[in-house]
């Protein structure tokens, strides 16, 4: 098989309820810059990454895909994914300007499109190509009701509905308000609303300094918080290691880490308990799998962050032995031929061949901005 075409696209899709905020980001559209790879076999591979839909930067990602990686891909056999990943990852001019950042997000989209082709060529969903089994139960926790711009009343109503009516196995709420005392009021209100059983996670999106994280984090055990996510600046390895030794609540992080090297360092330092590798920030499925194996070797659970809005990570979670729990945010639900779906708190198992990334033509039409 040969790659015959490299066609970039950019989608901007509105988030569920007009605007969401965490301590650091304010988001009205989710961005999906990506690529369609055409082949001489007639198979089309779809891959994309996740952004905050800022067009000038999305354009840099798709430029990198088409102008830098495109010429390296045309004529190659898309089934040789590991070989092509190495070729692109180590392309010296790209390595020189960006071993993380834009070049990395671009490579993630390409790598995912390649795996999509490989699974389609094999006639299997990706989870099966990767060796998974359909009986694996993937529990879903919902993040789309925990935003920092929700009032306590909204927060409580959403959490209750998700757990009691929709059956989610947990909810995640944002912290990192200007007043940490307010954060604890919100955590307490949600725990009281959902009862002792469902998981409750909190996410500071990198906002706190070490002192705030220790002082506020100490109280989280009173509400049986399952994990504290991104308490400190993303790259502050020493800070996270100290925090992990100072509080009882486990630390989750990884959505902002671009490289397997960073995961190795955080894991070695004992600075992370839940490894939140994201295949659309790492260089695709290929590097994600390397990180998941690394976590497995350290007996740490992998709970992927879902910059892809679950489509790819559902396959990876079914297939990889370090995974059992997956985040749910429905922003791209309307875009795919086979959208990731939760029933009674567990994800249903995708059946279509591929990586779950095939967009409906109507979605490409409606949300395309490039």
Residues assigned a catalytic role: 174, 305
**Distance in angstroms (rounded) separating the CA atoms of residues 349 and 343:** 10
- Contact pattern from residue 4 through residue 23 relative to ligand 0YR, giving x for each residue in contact according to CB under 6 A and a dash for the rest: ------------------x-
Distance CA 220, CA 252 (A): 14
How big is the chain by its Cα radius of gyration, in Å? 20
CA angle 366, 313, 305 (to 5 degrees): 95
Residue 161: both structure tokens together: 């509905």
Q: How many residues bind Mg ion (CB under 5 A)?
A: 2
Give whichever of 116 and 203 is closer to ligand 0YR, judged by the CB atom. 203
Within 10 angstroms of residue 199's Cβ, the number of other Cβ atoms is 18
Q: How far is the CB of 17 from ligand 0YR (least distance, A)?
A: 13
Contact between 158 and ligand 0YR (CB under 6 A)?
no
> Is residue 25 a contact residue for ligand 0YR (CB under 6 A)?
yes
Residue 142 binds ligand 0YR, judged by CB under 6 A: no
Which listed residue (116, 144, 183, 203) binds Mg ion by CB under 5 A? 203
Q: Which does 27 bind (CB under 5 to 8 A by kind): Mg ion, ligand 0YR, none?
A: ligand 0YR
Within 10 Å of residue 100's Cβ, how many Cβ atoms?
16
In order of 31, 179, 251, the CA distances from 229 in angstroms are 23, 18, 6
**Nearest approach, Cβ of 143 to ligand 0YR (angstroms)?**
6
Rounded alpha-carbon distances, angstroms, from residue 65 to 75, 235, 267, 282: 16, 26, 31, 15
Examine residue 116 and tell whether it contacts ligand 0YR (CB under 6 A): no
Give me the least distance between CB of 27 and ligand 0YR, in Å please. 5
Per-residue x/- track, 177-206, ligand 0YR (CB under 6 A): --------------------------x-x-
188 contacts: CB under 8 Å, gap ≥ 6: 223
For ligand 0YR, the binding residues (CB under 6 A) are 22, 25, 27, 143, 203, 205, 255, 305
């Amino acid at each position: 098989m040969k790659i015959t075409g490299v066609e970039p696209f950019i989608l901007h899709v509105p988030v569920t309820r007009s605007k969401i905020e965490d301590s650091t980001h304010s988001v009205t559209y989710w961005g999906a810059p990506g690529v369609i790879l055409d082949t001489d076999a007639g198979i089309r591979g779809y891959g994309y990454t996740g952004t905050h839909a800022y067009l000038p930067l999305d354009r840099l990602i798709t430029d990198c895909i088409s102008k830098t990686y495109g010429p390296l891909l045309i004529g190659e056999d898309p089934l040789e994914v590991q070989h092509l990943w190495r070729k692109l990852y180590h392309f010296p001019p790209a390595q020189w300007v960006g071993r993380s950042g834009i070049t990395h997000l671009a490579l993630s989209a390409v790598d995912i499109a390649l795996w999509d082709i490989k699974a389609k060529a094999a006639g299997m969903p990706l989870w099966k190509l990767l060796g998974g089994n359909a009986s694996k139960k993937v529990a879903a926790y919902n993040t789309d009701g925990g935003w920092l711009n929700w009032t306590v009343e909204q927060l409580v109503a959403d959490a209750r509905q998700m757990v009691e009516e929709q059956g989610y196995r947990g909810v995640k709420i944002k912290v990192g308000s200007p007043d940490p005392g307010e954060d604890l009021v919100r955590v307490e209100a949600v725990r009281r609303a959902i009862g002792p059983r469902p998981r409750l996670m909190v996410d500071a999106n990198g906002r706190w300094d070490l002192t705030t994280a220790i002082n506020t984090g100490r109280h989280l055990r009173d509400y049986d918080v399952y994990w504290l996510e991104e308490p400190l600046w993303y790259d502050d390895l020493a800070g996270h290691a100290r925090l992990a030794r100072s509080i009882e609540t486990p630390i989750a992080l990884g959505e902002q880490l671009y490289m397997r090297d960073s995961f190795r360092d955080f894991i070695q330092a004992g600075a992370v308990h839940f490894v939140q590798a994201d295949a659309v920030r790492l260089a695709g499925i290929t590097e994600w799998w390397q990180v998941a194996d690394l976590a497995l070797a350290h007996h740490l659970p992998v709970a992927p962050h879902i910059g892809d809005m679950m489509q790819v990570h559902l396959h990876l979670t079914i297939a990889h032995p370090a995974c059992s729990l997956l985040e749910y945010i429905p922003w791209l639900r309307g875009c795919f031929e086979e959208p990731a779906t939760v029933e009674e708190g567990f994800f249903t198992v995708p059946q279509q061949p591929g990586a779950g990334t095939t967009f409906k033509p109507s979605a490409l039409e409606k949300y395309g901005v490039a």
